[in-house]
Every structure is written in C-alpha cells, then in structure tokens.
C-alpha cells in the first residue's frame, strides 16, 4: 500500500501520528439505483488514493477475471463486494464499510445496496452518516429507487448531498445529459430538506473526476469528488446545544458510591451543572464525571462516562438527565416518519417494542396518517377511501404514523436532535427489527386525527355570546375569504382593497397577510413543506377565532398545497370558508416581481420558491377565480364584494 505523507513517516513518525489523530472524520454513504456504480466508485476512490494493500489488489485482479463485470482486468467493485453472492451476481446486498484517509481527512464509507428489496439495508447504513453520495447512471437518469433513497437521506437529516452523475463515458461525456439530470433532480429535491447539493459528472470505472480532474469533462469547472469530500464543512452536524444524558446502567459497587453510566447523546455535560432528572422532574447538580481514565470536568457526545449527583435521586435505565432550562418532551404518544423493513405489511393496531435511546417500551402503531409516493414526494391517497389515511404499509414503504406508548418516553424531534428523536420498532415475536422511525416536531394528535394540545388539562372554553348574536350586531355573516395564488399574483393588493371598501361601508373585517404574519406570529417558521403546513394551521386557527367574534376575515397566502388549504377549511369550518383562486400566470407574476424575489430565485439566492423549484397545487373547485393580469384591482375587489353580497355575507 502506498501511503500519503511517506516523507513525514520516514523522518518524524510521531508528527505523522499526531497529524493523523487530529484529522476530521467524515462518514458518508453511496446510494442510488442498482448498477449505478456505487461499489465501483468506492473501489476507484480507494485505488486512486493509493489506499489498497498489494495483496488485496492482487486478489481483486485475480477475482476480476472470474467475477468481473466491467470487461477489464480490474473491477473496482470487488474491493467492497465481499459476499460470495455479491460477487456472483455483481450486486451489493449488505452494507459494506470501508476506511481510508488522505492528508486532509479520515473517511468511513458505507457502500449501500441499490436493489429495492434491500432498501432497509440502505437506511441502516445511512443512519450515522453526515453526507450522501447519490449516484445516477447517466444513461438511465433518475429512477424510482433514486427518489426513494433521496427521500430516506432527507428523512434521516443528512443535509450534505453529492449527486454523482456516473458513466459519463457511455453518453459521450455529454454536458447536455448532465444538465438535464441536474435540472430534473433540482425539481425533485425542492421538497426535501437538503442543506446543500453538489452535482459532479464522473466515470467511476475510468476514474474521471473521482480523484483527478478529467480531460474528457473540460466543460465542468467544479471540484473532483475527492476534493469536495476533503473540504466540505461538517462541523455543524453535531448537536452541542441540547444536553441529553440517557441512563444506561446504575453502578452501585459499595455503600459510598452511586453512579449513572451511559453515553452523552448530545450537548455538553459539566461538573457543577444544574440538571433535571426525567421523568421524575427532580432537580439536582452534577457532582462528578468519571471516565475509564479518571475524573473529567466535562463530557461531550458519544463519550461513555459515569455521572454522580449531589443529591440522592432515583434514576434507572431509560431515564435521562437534561438541563433545567432545556427540557425535552415527555409523552406517551408521538407522530413520526417511518421506513417499514419487513416483508409482512404493517397494519394499524399492531403492537411492537419501541427501542428509543436506552429504553424499551411496548407501543402500538394506531394510525398510518399517509404513505409517501416516492415518485412525486407527495402523499398517496387510499384508493378504497379516497383519503390519505392508509390501512397498511408494504415493505420499504415510507409513511407518517401515530404511535401510542404504554408509558411515557423522553424525546426531542429528530430534526433537532438525532440521538433522542430516532427509534426502531422490534417485532415482539421474532425480535427482528421491523422499522426505523424519526419523531416529528409538530402535529401530536390522537389516532382519530383530531389535533389536541399536548397538555391533558387544557379544554376549549365557549363564550356566553354566540357567533349569531355577534353577526346580528355587526349586520354581516362571519366568513373567511382565503386568497391563494403565486407570489406577485395580486392577493395582498386585492385583499387590501376589499378591506378598505368593507370598512368604508361599515363592516367589521380583518386582513391576515402572509408577510405580516410571518414577521410576528410565525417568525419561527421556515419554508419547508412542514413549516408551510404549520404556518397555514396557525393562520386558520386565528381566522376561526376572528370568525367566532363575528368578523369577516380576508387572508392573502400563497398556501401552495391543496391538503393544507383543506386543513384550513376543516379548522375554520366548511360553511365559513371561501376559497378565492387568484389565477395569475407565472409570467405575469415574475414580470411584476414587487419584492424582487423572482430575481433572487433566478440568481440562485433563494431555493424552494413556489412556482419555480417548488410546486403550487391549484384549487380544484374554488368559490371564485380571478386573473389580475386581465382585470384591474378595482374590478377584482368588486368581484369579491359581489360574491359576498350574493352569498348574503353582507
């Protein structure tokens, strides 16, 4: 094996070992559809970076003549495909881990299988990775399995993605093919939560753009794959804010010592910290932190330590120490995204053992909210009922579920804390892993699908004054006119004009505008599909309260998803909800660009922008449709007011 920095090894071995010890470690996986070249890519990385032992290389050269699938004397895939069945079939079945390093960084690679039936192995390999290399065969483009793996990568919170368009040599090193795949993948990834995506054209078999730049790809000006892996920033992947210490074992060697052993899941625990013991909610102080090598002042994620406390606190396996001012949720139910891993379908009402952190608690999957269609990244409708709720989930299915536990567990949303937001379901009969899941931040609801507050003692109060009495006083019907359409379509302008005319005619009304609400009430929300949904839910709750007060409510929100508007209608009430579709063409909206947002999108400064790289789902049966490209503001406002008069709102 030819090792980098041989001169340093020869002259100062201690300096080399110190340099190696202090290198960053990057865990990444390769995934994608079958035969996209994942194993070949890893083999090429190892070979070209001179990280293969001579006897190992000789064995691969020998096996290439028997099991090789490349038609050459050297098949790089055989460096990772170690199982006999893998070599015979030329596929990857189980996750293979490989380790190598360069002068810049150390790496652990998870080579995951591409076949659909082994998707569960892919999810397992991705669980501890910080970056994903998604391979796409340039000849075939994006496949269903590419989409499925991309969705799982997003679910697992892997924010750094490299899309390696492989086998460019088989499409004549075509820039047009590469750009077509990049454009298509961009549109797909708009609904995924990736922090950054880099596209690199490569030929894993020939080594082009893997370690060294390719003369065949002169039109590509970006880095090689290895250069990107060496320099991508990954320091933000660790959660050092939310201290969580799950208790794994209570140590009581003698009468004078009681310690709580475990690994720090996240954050930093320090001697002298005030902590809360959950679920008992007992406040105490950290007296000492012991390790195998002696006492330390603090401990950080993945350190195995024994913590002693200043007070006699009753803790057992599965309990947790947390900061007094940063407390996770303690509940006996939660919503989660799930990847199902068994041949037998998951059915509602089935019971499992839920393995979460250091606890193992019986639980029931009492609702499958919806299954995800990986082709569209959208919810599937149940063909039998026409609704999203599903009765069962097939092998490799991905769904949002509701889990009811037999006793409370301590957790954070997976998006915030991977260590305390992940869980697996274990079959109670076979003890086999049935599924892996990620707990969601919002939307804890009962199995009936009715949202309710997290605290059981909260109930909805009713007023002594009815809505009808308020409507009679104000001489109007309390209704919500929900204006939806693209950015720049004229929603806010129309709503403001209608509001002005209603007030002038003596009617009590209120306008809820998208930007104004996000500036205050919803300033904590982003623009992911989940945050957009929560944005709409909060607005609908506010509109309902205003309707209860007898007011006419005008809302101006893009609200791009049909299901979110349906949710708003359910909250406000079908009788009070009126949907107004401001159907202005994208070209007209972009030409106006009143806030300069479209210009920023085209410049690459904004992503996931509705109408460009994020979808907009038009209403199917709106109460009123307006096109502001073909009418004035006065005409549009008059149309809305006329609708109110015809519906006896005024």
What pLDDT is stored for residue 387 in this prediction? 72
What pLDDT is stored for residue 193 in this prediction? 79
What percentage of the chain carries pLDDT values higher than 90? 43
What pLDDT is stored for residue 228 in this prediction? 92
What pLDDT is stored for residue 97 in this prediction? 77
- Confidence class of residue 118 from pLDDT cuts 50, 70 and 90? low
More confidently predicted of 16 and 596: 596
- Confidence class of residue 87 from pLDDT cuts 50, 70 and 90? very low
- Write the CB contacts of 641 (distance below 8 Å, at least 6 apart in sequence): 498, 501, 502, 650
What pLDDT is stored for residue 89 in this prediction? 41
76 and 47 in contact (C-beta within 8 Å)?
A: yes
What pLDDT is stored for residue 54 in this prediction? 54
Whether residue 36 is predicted with pLDDT greater than 90 in this model: the reply is no
pLDDT in tens, 386-409: 677 788 899 888 999 999 999 999
Whether residue 81 is predicted with pLDDT greater than 50 in this model: the reply is no
What pLDDT is stored for residue 459 in this prediction? 59
Q: Could you give the CA distance from residue 383 to residue 401 in angstroms, rounded to a whole number?
A: 19
What pLDDT is stored for residue 90 in this prediction? 41
pLDDT in tens, 520-574: 888 877 776 677 788 899 999 999 999 999 999 999 999 888 888 888 998 998 8
Whether residue 1 is predicted with pLDDT greater than 50 in this model: the reply is no
494 and 582 in contact (C-beta within 8 Å)?
A: yes
What pLDDT is stored for residue 93 in this prediction? 44
**CA 283 to mean position of chain CA atoms:** 34
- Degrees (nearest 5) of the Cα angle 165, 171, 177? 55
pLDDT in tens, 263-283: 999 999 999 999 999 998 999
- Confidence class of residue 224 from pLDDT cuts 50, 70 and 90? very high
- Confidence class of residue 182 from pLDDT cuts 50, 70 and 90? very high
Q: 245-323: which CATH number, 3.30.300.30, 2.40.50.200, 2.40.30.10, 3.40.50.150?
A: 2.40.30.10
pLDDT in tens, 184-203: 998 888 778 788 899 999 99
More confidently predicted of 4 and 422: 422
Whether residue 59 is predicted with pLDDT greater than 50 in this model: the reply is yes
How long, in residues, is the chain?
Answer: 650
pLDDT in tens, 277-311: 999 899 999 999 999 989 999 999 989 999 999 99
Q: 329-439: which CATH number, 2.60.40.420, 2.40.30.10, 2.70.98.40, 3.40.50.300?
A: 2.40.30.10
637 and 498 in contact (C-beta within 8 Å)?
A: yes
Burial annotation 515-541 (CB, 10 A radius, 16+ → b, else e): eebbeeebeebebebbebbbbbbebbe
Q: Could you give the CA distance from residue 228 to residue 387 in angstroms, rounded to a whole number?
A: 44
Domain 6-237 adopts which CATH fold? Rossmann fold (3.40.50)
Total H helices, total E strands in the chain: 18, 30
What pLDDT is stored for residue 104 in this prediction? 82
**What are the angstrom distances between the C-alpha of 48 and each of 148, 207, 615?**
30, 8, 42
427: left (phi over 0), alpha (psi -120 to 50) or beta: beta
147 and 191 in contact (C-beta within 8 Å)?
A: no
- Confidence class of residue 236 from pLDDT cuts 50, 70 and 90? low
What pLDDT is stored for residue 272 in this prediction? 94
Q: Could you give the CA distance from residue 592 to residue 598 in angstroms, rounded to a whole number?
A: 9
What percentage of the chain carries pLDDT values higher than 70? 83
More confidently predicted of 230 and 65: 230
CATH code given to domain 467-646: 3.40.50.300
The residues facing 351 across adjacent strands are 364
What pLDDT is stored for residue 445 in this prediction? 41
- Degrees (nearest 5) of the Cα angle 48, 128, 95? 60
What pLDDT is stored for residue 337 in this prediction? 92
What pLDDT is stored for residue 20 in this prediction? 61
What pLDDT is stored for residue 120 in this prediction? 66
Whether residue 504 is predicted with pLDDT greater than 80 in this model: the reply is yes
What pLDDT is stored for residue 82 in this prediction? 47
- 3-state SS, residue 85: helix
Flag the least confident range among 12-16, 98-102, 348-352, 493-497: 12-16
- Degrees (nearest 5) of the Cα angle 243, 249, 255? 110
What pLDDT is stored for residue 283 in this prediction? 93
More confidently predicted of 317 and 530: 317
In this chain, the answer to whether the domains covering 6-237 and 245-323 adopt an identical fold is no
Q: What are the extents of the domains in the chain? A: 6-237, 245-323, 329-439, 467-646
**Report field, pTM of the whole predicted structure over 0.85:** no
């Amino acid at each position: 094996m030819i090792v980098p920095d041989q001169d340093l090894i020869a002259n100062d071995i201690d300096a080399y070992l110190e340099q190696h010890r202090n290198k960053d470690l990057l865990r990444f996986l390769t995934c994608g559809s079958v035969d996209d070249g994942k194993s070949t890519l890893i083999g090429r990385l190892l070979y070209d970076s001179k990280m293969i032992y001579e006897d190992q290389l000789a064995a691969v050269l020998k096996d290439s003549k028997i099991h090789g699938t490349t038609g050459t004397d050297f098949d790089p895939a055989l460096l990772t495909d170690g199982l006999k069945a893998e070599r015979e079939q030329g596929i990857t079945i189980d996750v293979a881990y490989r380790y190598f390093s360069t002068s810049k960084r150390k790496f652990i690679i998870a080579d995951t299988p591409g076949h659909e039936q082994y998707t569960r192995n892919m999810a397992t390999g991705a669980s501890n990775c910080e970056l994903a290399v998604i391979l796409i065969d340039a000849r075939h483009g994006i496949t269903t399995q590419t989409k499925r793996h991309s969705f799982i990568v997003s679910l697992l919170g892997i924010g750094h993605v490299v899309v390696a368009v492989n086998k460019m040599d088989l499409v004549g090193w075509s820039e047009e093919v590469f750009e077509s795949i990049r454009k298509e993948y961009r549109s797909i990834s708009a609904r995924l939560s990736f922090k950054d995506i880099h596209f690199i054209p490569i030929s894993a078999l020939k080594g082009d753009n893997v370690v060294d730049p390719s003369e065949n790809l002169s039109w590509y000006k970006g880095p090689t794959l290895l250069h990107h892996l060496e320099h991508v920033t990954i320091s933000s992947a660790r959660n050092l804010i939310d201290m969580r210490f799950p208790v794994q074992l209570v140590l009581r060697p003698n009468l004078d010592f009681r310690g709580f052993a475990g690994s720090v899941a996240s954050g930093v625990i320090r001697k002298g910290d005030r902590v809360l013991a959950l679920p008992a909610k007992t406040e105490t102080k950290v007296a000492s932190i012991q390790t195998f090598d002696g006492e330390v002042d603090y401990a950080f994620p993945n350190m195995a330590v024994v913590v002693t406390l200043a007070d006699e606190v009753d803790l057992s396996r599965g309990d947790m120490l947390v900061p007094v001012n940063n407390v996770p949720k303690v509940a006996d139910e939660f919503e989660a995204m799930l990847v199902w891993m068994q041949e037998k379908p998951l059915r509602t009402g089935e019971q499992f053992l839920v393995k979460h952190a250091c606890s193992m608690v019986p639980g029931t999957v009492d609702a499958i909210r919806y299954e995800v269609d990986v082709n569209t990244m959208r919810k599937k409708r149940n063909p039998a009922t026409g609704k999203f709720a599903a009765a069962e989930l097939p092998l490799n299915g991905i769904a949002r579920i509701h889990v009811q536990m037999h006793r409370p567990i301590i957790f954070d949303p997976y998006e915030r804390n991977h260590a305390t937001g992940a869980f697996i379901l274990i079959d109670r009969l076979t003890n086999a892993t049935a599924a892996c899941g990620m707990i969601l931040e919002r939307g804890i609801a009962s199995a009936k699908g009715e949202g309710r507050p997290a605290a059981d003692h909260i109930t909805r109060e009713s007023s002594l004054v009815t809505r009808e009495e308020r409507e009679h006083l104000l001489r109007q019907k309390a209704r919500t006119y929900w204006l939806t359409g693209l950015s720049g379509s004229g929603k806010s302008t129309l709503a403001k004009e209608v509001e002005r005319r209603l007030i002038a005619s003596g009617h009590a009304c209120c306008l809820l505008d998208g930007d104004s609400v996000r500036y205050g009430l919803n300033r904590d929300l982003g623009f992911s599909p989940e945050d957009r949904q929560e944005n709409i839910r909060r607005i609908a709750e506010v509109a309902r309260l205003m309707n209860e007060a007898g007011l006419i409510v005008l809302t101006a929100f893009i609200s791009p998803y049909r299901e979110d508007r349906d949710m708003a209608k359910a909250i406000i009430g079908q009788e009070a909800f009126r949907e107004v579709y401001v159907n202005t063409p994208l070209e007209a909206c972009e030409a106006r660009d009143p806030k300069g947002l479209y210009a920023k999108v085209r410049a690459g400064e904004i992503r996931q922008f509705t109408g460009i790289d994020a979808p907009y789902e038009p209403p199917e049966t709106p109460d009123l449709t307006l096109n502001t490209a073909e009418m004035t503001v006065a005409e549009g406002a008059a149309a809305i007011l006329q609708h109110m008069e015809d519906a006896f709102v005024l």
